[in-house]
Structures are given as C-alpha cells and as structure tokens.
Amino acid sequence: MNYENLLIRDNEGIITVTINREGSLNALNSRTMLELRHFFGEDAPRRSGLRGIILTGAGEKAFVAGADIKEFLALDAAQGQAMAQRGHDIFFSIERFPKPVVAAINGFALGGGCELAMACHLRVATENARFGQPEVNLGLIPGYGGTQRLIQYIGKSKAVELLMTADMIGAEEAYRLGLVNYVVPPGEEAEKAAELIRKIASKGPVAIARIIETVNAYFQYDKDGFATEVRAFGDAAGTEDFREGATAFIEKRKPDFKGR
C-alpha cells in the first residue's frame, strides 16, 4: 500500500509510525484508518527483525485530536454500526499485535485519539498532553472501544464521569489514574518509548507475545484468561527460547533469544 497519511520509519527494528495530518490535528479519517489496518494487519507482521512499534502524531499540538467529524454527517444507524465495527477490528489488531506497541502522546489525545492510545500496550505522554472522550458533546458515544478500555485502565467510577461530562484531563492526572505509564517533557516521548521497546526486546520474544495474548484474554468475553494462561505457559515451556533463558540464568550470562 502507498501510505498517504502515515510516515513509516525503521530504526534498527523499532518502527515509528507517525500519523501525518498535522493540519487536521492528525484526525482519524477513513483513509488513515485504512492505512492503520493495512500496516498492523499486513505490513508489520511481515517485517523481519521487528522489535516494536512507536505510534505518534505529527507536530507538537496533537497525537490524534479525534475522528474526522465531517465524515460522520452522512451516517445512518447501519452505516454508523459498520464504521464502529471497522474501528474495533483495527484497534484490536493493534491491541493483539505480538510485539510491543507504544503510544508516544504529544499533545491532544481526544475521542478516537484517546481510543487509539488505549489500544496500544503502553503509553508515554508529554507534560502538555490532554486526554478525553468528548463524543457526548456531539450527541454520540465513543465507537472505537473507548467505553470499554477506559474502564479497564481507570475504573468504572472515574471512567463514567469522563465519558458523561466530556471533561479533559492532563498528563499528570492521566498518570495518577493509570491511563499512561510515563510523563516526560515535550520532545522526549519518542526516546522514552524506544527505551521501553529496547528493554522489552531483550526478553524472550515468544514470551512477550504470550504475555500480550494472556493479558488481553482477561478482557475478552469469549476467552477464559486462566485457561489461556495455562495453554500459553505450556507453549512457552516448549520453546528454544525457554531452554536458552533458563540455561543463561543458571550460567549467569545474558540470554541469546532467537524467537523460537
């Protein structure tokens, strides 16, 4: 696919995906969603040597300031449901991606932007970042998983308040509530995200993929998280990586994982 709205940069296996619609505060229009679907569903899984992905927005004002509302005006109920389902499918492909995906949040993360950040495995925010789900201001609700993931991260009581009031919160409050993992000065978010990926990449890649799978299973209505853990533990125990990791521990050396 020829990416029009995404900039893709590979730095030693750490890929930075930048949503490049700065003039629209990186709003998620249909083309951008299509490109995200292709990247996470077809492009990234085929890349050899991939260590992790950083997802960010162009410019200093916004990570993603929401969806492109102009595209919503012609929706009827059936079209709205189809749009939401596509969004869910794309964001699930991010949440379930077997390598770490870290959101580097540089400014506003509102509506679909907040939902996109929550679909990532980890979040690094700049001190000036702002988060919110303002859909009720438009007579809508979040449609890309926001009503579900916000509860998972910050709990029902505060999530319901933010969803119903459309209030925004700053980076420090987002950190206090558990929505973001780190808060850093502007300009340092990408490096912190890369630091996290490098640290995770030093661990067993099969084990990391199983961690992502089992944690996600806790929140999936059609999965038994405990049963998923039992199966995934067995899978990991049968890998070359486990033998190498255990042997390296006993021999007091750094393991050389092969992802097998």
Cβ neighbour number for residue 56 with a 10 Å cutoff = 23
Burial class (CB in 10 A: 0-12, 13-18, 19+), 20: middle
Marked catalytic residue, from 22, 95, 127, 135: 135
Predicted local distance difference test score (pLDDT) of residue 149: 95
Edge-first strand order for the sheet with 6-11 is: 6-11, 14-19, 52-57, 101-105, 122-126, 182-184
Single out the catalytic residue among 115, 188, 195, 213.
Answer: 115
User: DSSP assignment of 155-224, as one string?
Assistant: -HHHHHHHHHH---EEHHHHHHHTS-SEEE-TT-HHHHHHHHHHHHHTS-HHHHHHHHHHHHHHT-TT--
Domain ranges of the chain: 6-201, 205-251
Asked whether the CA dihedral 133, 137, 138, 141 is positive or negative, the reply is positive
- The pLDDT averaged over each successive group of 10 residues in the chain (260 residues) is 95 97 95 97 94 97 89 82 91 97 97 97 98 92 92 96 96 98 97 98 94 90 73 76 78 83
115 catalytically annotated: yes
Indicate the pTM of the whole model. Answer: 0.89
Which residue, among 62, 52, 2, has the nearest Cα to 28 in the 3D structure? Answer: 62
Q: Known catalytic residue: 191?
A: no
Q: How many residues does the chain have?
A: 260
For domain 6-201, give its CATH number from 3.40.50.720, 3.90.226.10, 3.30.565.10, 3.40.50.300: 3.90.226.10
